[in-house]
Amino acid sequence: MLLTLRVQGARHWVKSTRCLASSAVPEKSPSSSPQLEVNGSTYATDGWTNVTPKILSYLGANKHLQTDHPLSIIRQRIVNYFYGAYRNQRGNPLFSVYDKLNPVVTVQQNFDNLLIPADHVSRQKSDCYYINQQQLLRAHTTAHQVELISGGLDNFLVVGEVYRRDEIDSTHYPVFHQADAVRLVTKDKLFERNPGLELFEETWSGSLADPKLILPSAKFMDQTKQPCHTLEAVKLMEHEMKHVLVGLTKDLFGPRIKYRWVDTYFPFTQPSWELEIYFKDNWLEVLGCGIMRHEILQRSGVHQSIGYAFGVGLERLAMVLFDIPDIRLFWSNDSGFLSQFSEKDLHNLPKYKPISHYPQCTNDMSFWLPEDIEVDAGFSPNDFYDLVRSVAGDMVEQISLVDKFKHPKTGKSSVCFRIVYRHMERTLTQAEVNEIHKQIASASVDSFNVQIR
Ligand code: DAH
């Protein structure tokens, strides 16, 4: 569900307004830039490469691990809740936590392993930061599921930053943080009190190769169970998962928080839900979850368990819990911001007090696209947003496409973007803004072969 208060958290997997047009980022020829250094490793580049030096500069920032940072406080709250909710017979936490995994993943990890269809919009070059055709900066922390389950884990949390190309505004940033969890249980554990019940249908052969048993993506809202599972197993798992996730929500937002479950679709779970909370007169989606597709467990070598999984966006939680109005503040090193939060008392979350208000400065930029190129057909606005971000960094608060038209005689397309400049930490002068604006214009000419109007 799309809300007025839209803050990055989970992707909308069913509908996408994105086009399938090819990206207009100039393709680097192997001879001009054959290799890329990322996190100490060397990668080959190709026509898919679209990571920018600016984006690569975020690797290793680890805001979710920085002492007293609001994202780190939220991480600890989630981890502590899970440590408390599940303990083994000796009283030790059942869940293990992975919060330093390398964000460079393969297309197989980010998409194929999670049964994301080959033509799904989330794979587009205009939505992800690709290192090359095979590797990208993870677009969700769910990307690590199969490697961790294959390694023998059955209860784990993954926390880390994820990378997505998106519009720029106070609730969207190309890098944000997620926590994902997986819990697998065997028949003996799930039916401890009801021995004799089964996880899998008797009629099910144990093989999911039959295409009839693989959920076609078109049947996206199908909330029935997967054919392999028994209804009892799914219902018990659903009950446990919802109980734990409502518990987490109440732990974070207080026991009186109003919430609701909404049916949804994720390629990697069936059935699937979103949990929404009622906040400031709006229903706000806080997490996505579901019963894991059994193919994912089978791929990981697990045949006798059923699992649930969920994913949650940390910025979204932190913005609500601390009343932080702008997502860019999470990247601020201003002591006026950071000194407001302390992990000494994790249960006393202060409300953010704005440091100051600096004036906005709005400038428009119009250009003609090269012949035969149109918006979303050869030119993706996300490419322009990235260019602006690379040139102007956090001086830009918002960019929007305010106008586009096609000249009736020449057939050329024109676009107009509105760029709102505002620095979080100081007043920008008009001269300074004009200079940056000019740099963006000339970088656009160089990169996209456009003609400034
Ligand atoms: N990866 C999803 C996203 O970013 C969120 C999500 C949904 C994660 C359901 C899960 C899950 O593990 O089971 O949109």
How far, in Å, from the CA of 238 to the mean position of ligand 1? 16
Q: For residue 308, which atom of ligand 1 is closest to its CA?
A: 13
Q: Tell me the average pLDDT across 180-188.
A: 98
How far, in Å, from the CA of 26 to the mean position of ligand 1? 31
**Residue 159 and residue 310: Cα distance in Å, rounded?**
12
Integer Rg of the chain from CA: 23
The finding on whether 288 has its CB within 6 A of some atom of ligand 1 is: yes
Query: What are the backbone angles phi and psi of residue 397, rounded to the nearest 5°?
Result: -95, -40
pLDDT of residue 32: 58
Beta bridge partners of 183: 155, 308
Cβ atoms of 313 and 177 within 8 Å: the answer is yes
Using the predicted structure, report yes or no on whether residue 10 has a pLDDT greater than 80: no
Cβ neighbourhood burial of 75 (10 Å; 0-12, 13-18, 19+): buried
How far, in Å, from the CA of 288 to the mean position of ligand 1? 5
Band of residue 209 on the pLDDT scale cut at 50, 70, 90: low
The predicted model scores a pTM of 0.82
Least confident residue range of 149-163, 178-192, 359-373: 359-373
Please state, rounded to an integer, the average pLDDT across all residues of the chain. Answer: 89
The finding on whether 142 has its CB within 6 A of some atom of ligand 1 is: yes
Pocket mutation for ligand 1, best pick of 140, 159, 275 (most atoms within 8 Å of C-beta): 140
Closest CA to 229 of 192, 262, 267, 190: 190
Pocket mutation for ligand 1, best pick of 266, 287, 294, 308 (most atoms within 8 Å of C-beta): 266
Q: Tell me the average pLDDT across 103-112.
A: 98
The finding on whether 290 has its CB within 6 A of some atom of ligand 1 is: yes
Q: Tell me the average pLDDT across 153-178.
A: 93
Domain boundaries, the chain: 53-205+219-330, 361-452
Q: For residue 13, which atom of ligand 1 is closest to its CA?
A: 14
Closest CA to 280 of 325, 244, 332, 342: 325
Q: Which CATH superfamily groups domain 53-205+219-330?
A: Bira Bifunctional Protein; Domain 2 (3.30.930.10)
Using the predicted structure, report yes or no on whether residue 22 has a pLDDT greater than 70: no
- CATH level 2 (architecture), domain 361-452: 2-Layer Sandwich (3.30)
Per-residue pLDDT tens over the stretch 366-395: 999 999 999 888 999 999 999 999 999 989
Using the predicted structure, report yes or no on whether residue 5 has a pLDDT greater than 60: no
Mark residue 330 as left, alpha or beta (left: phi above 0; alpha: psi -120 to 50; beta: remaining): alpha
Q: Rounding to the nearest 10 degrees, give the CA dihedral for residues 420, 425, 429, 435.
A: -60
The finding on whether 307 has its CB within 6 A of some atom of ligand 1 is: no
CA distances from 402 to 58, 237, 422, 439 (A): 29, 47, 19, 20
Q: For residue 313, which atom of ligand 1 is closest to its CA?
A: 4
Beta bridge partners of 287: 275, 312
